[in-house]
Amino acid sequence: MDKQKQENRDNREKEKMTGTGKEQEYPGLRLEKMRKRKAQVRRRVTVLILLVLFAAAGAGIALFMPSRAHVRPEVYFARKVLECTAEGGSWTDEEEQQLSEALTGSARAIVLQTGVDPRLARMNGEQLYLPYELVYEELNGRFFWDEESQVMLFTTPLALYELTPDSTAYQVDGEEEKASAAPVIRAEDALYVSAEFVQQFTNVEYITGEDWAHVRILYRWESVTCAECKKETALRVSADIKADIAQDLPSGSEVTLLEEGEKWALVVSPDGVIGYVRRKHLGEAFERELTRSFEEPEYTSLHLEEKVRLVWHAMDSADTNDYLDQDTKSMTGINVISPTWFSLADNDGHIRSYASEKYVRRAHRKGLQVWALLSNFSEEVSTYQVVSRASSRRTLEQELIAQILEYGIDGLNVDLEAITEDSAPGYVQLMRELSILCRKNEIILSVDVPVPMSFNTYYNREELATVADYVIMMGYDEHYNGSEAGSVASLSFEENGIRESLEMIPKEKLVSGIPFYTRVWYTWQEADGSEGVTSEVVAMYRILDDLAAAGREVTWDEQTGQNYSEWLGTDGTRCRVWLEDEQSITLKAELVNTYDLGGFAAWVLGNEKDEIWEVLEDTVKG
């Protein structure tokens, strides 16, 4: 053992002396090996850094690379519709899926020029049907659903169409005709009108495809801002390159600009898909006038050769007809008299009539046309019930026309007042139907409407002006029984009413209504400190005579364009009146000339001063 240990020691010593051991490597050799090891480490680090850089670069490229993901059309339009209808602007996946499935079936989203509509169209076989509410509100308000008869009505200048849902047979003025497809259908308790049928009578264009999830409807023929795609580009669902693509637009596609930002533009594609396009991919914006060849229905009108100079003649019985000569003995410059002969008698459309052939003959001898008035002043009759049902409207129309033809009456003046918003659609429909009968029988049709206010826009004055020959703006009742004290018809009230009306009614059809009466107002202090107020209607001539007899002071009120008087009653009541007289009527009559209106109408014969006739005759020209 000791001998072995000694040999080992001798061998180690020998290695040291001969340089064969590791500890005796040459210094240069050791440095070379160290350099190689460091280079190897550097290469590994470099590779690692490059891998990291490549990975980062790839992530960066992916971050700025536009998405090429497409959203399916049915999903895109389902979301657009839900944006309009979902409460709070949010919806469930289930709701989206259900609507998407519907859009792959018979339902179609509707794209108007204003955006996606919340309602859906339907395909019935190869026929496209539009929701009735959409047709009525946006495209053609002359389609009118009559709830009582369960029939869709449609009027043209000379015909009344009656369309029964789900039937290809329909009536035109009582004569049966046939269509290749039902003009109206009922589906899921809703009404739909054939787009093809609507297009026959409406300046509207609809665009759809066999595999489309939507229909595009053009109906506003106006100038729009457009741009052309300079290259193939993506129309995205939002202004983000990572947003899904709703449609790929080929180079040269013309889009309609809805909104234009610095980097993105909200556009409508030729197919009606709404989305965002990068602005740099679009050329310069330009204007294009949208047009379509269509012959609008012609609503002819009967007009007098001169301006209308009308006065109403109040009738409370047939015997009143005998007073025509007496009531008009001082009258000059008038060419139309309107006796209040007709009134609604019941909810079924029957009328009460005081019409007289003898009266008509005498009026004609005086050079007067006779426009019989229809009123609704009976509290026992519901105007809503009369105008909202086809059966009662038809009874009313037939009885009116029969009376007019029987007595040789020249015109009809419809004075249905205090029309409520729920009565308005039926009221306008009555005027459409009456206009057909009057046009066919050469009867002048006029209608009385209040001064335009924000609360009575539902009168649909534009449509009334289309179907009627004249629209009479009743420029009075500015203040009325139950209101605060004030003028019945200040000059500004009359003039503002004319200006507002002219935005809806052609000037040659607008007739300015002026009052031959006023109100005397009585105010007093109540026990609780509040002001009590009441008033009474007084004829023009009577209040002027009363003031003169009492020696009341009268002063000119520049603000109202009227003379004004105020006094205290014997019990301390404050009495006030804004007068109608030669001065105020002159100013109101001059408005007819200023705005070149169709004429004037005065309420009511018998209330005037004799001098008023000369004022009107001298003032109103033409």
| CA angle (240, 242, 246) in 5-degree steps | 80
Tokens of 82: 């839900």
Contact 619, 590 (CB under 8 A): yes
Is the pLDDT at 134 greater than 50? The verdict is: yes
From edge to edge, which strands make up the β-sheet containing 151-155? 143-146, 151-155, 160-163, 169-172, 175-178
Q: Tokens 């459409």: give the residue.
A: 432
Provide the pLDDT for residue 23.
Answer: 46
Sign of the torsion angle spanned by Cα atoms 466, 469, 475, 477:
negative
Q: How large a percentage of the chain has pLDDT more than 90? A: 88
Provide the pLDDT for residue 31.
Answer: 64
The model scores a pTM over 0.85: yes
Q: How large a percentage of the chain has pLDDT more than 70? A: 91
Is the pLDDT at 593 greater than 80? The verdict is: yes
Tens digits of residue pLDDT in 519-531: 999 999 999 999 9
Least confident range of 55-64, 263-272, 298-307: 55-64
Tens digits of residue pLDDT in 310-357: 999 999 999 999 999 999 999 999 999 999 999 999 999 999 999 999
Element (H, E) at 424: helix 424-441
Is the pLDDT at 33 greater than 70? The verdict is: no
Element (H, E) at 233: strand 233-236
What's 136-189 look like in SS3?
HHHHCCCEEEECCCCEEEEECCCCEEEECCCCCEEEECCEEEECCCCCEEEECC
- Number of Cβ within 10 Å of residue 573's Cβ equals 15
What mean pLDDT value characterizes the chain? 93
Sign of the torsion angle spanned by Cα atoms 174, 373, 519, 615:
positive
Q: How far is CA 144 from the centre of its chain?
A: 16
Provide the pLDDT for residue 30.
Answer: 63
Cα–Cα distance measured from residue 114 to residue 449, given in angstroms and rounded to the nearest whole number: 31
Domain boundaries, the chain: 73-218, 223-289, 308-619
CATH 3.30.1380.10 for the 308-619 domain, yes or no? no
Kindly give the pairing relationship between strand 308-313 and strand 336-339. parallel
Tens digits of residue pLDDT in 221-232: 999 999 999 999
Provide the pLDDT for residue 59.
Answer: 45
Provide the pLDDT for residue 591.
Answer: 98
At the fourth CATH level, the homologous superfamily of domain 223-289 is: SH3 Domains (2.30.30.40)
Cα–Cα distance measured from residue 422 to residue 427, given in angstroms and rounded to the nearest whole number: 9
At the fourth CATH level, the homologous superfamily of domain 73-218 is: Copper amine oxidase-like, N-terminal domain (3.30.457.10)
Task: Give whole-number Cα distances, 143 to 138, 161, 407, 429, 473, in Å.
Answer: 11, 9, 33, 9, 26
Least confident range of 34-38, 142-146, 192-196, 483-487: 34-38
Query: Which DSSP state fits 452?
Result: P
Tens digits of residue pLDDT in 449-499: 999 999 999 999 999 999 999 999 999 999 999 999 999 999 999 999 999
Is the pLDDT at 373 greater than 60? The verdict is: yes
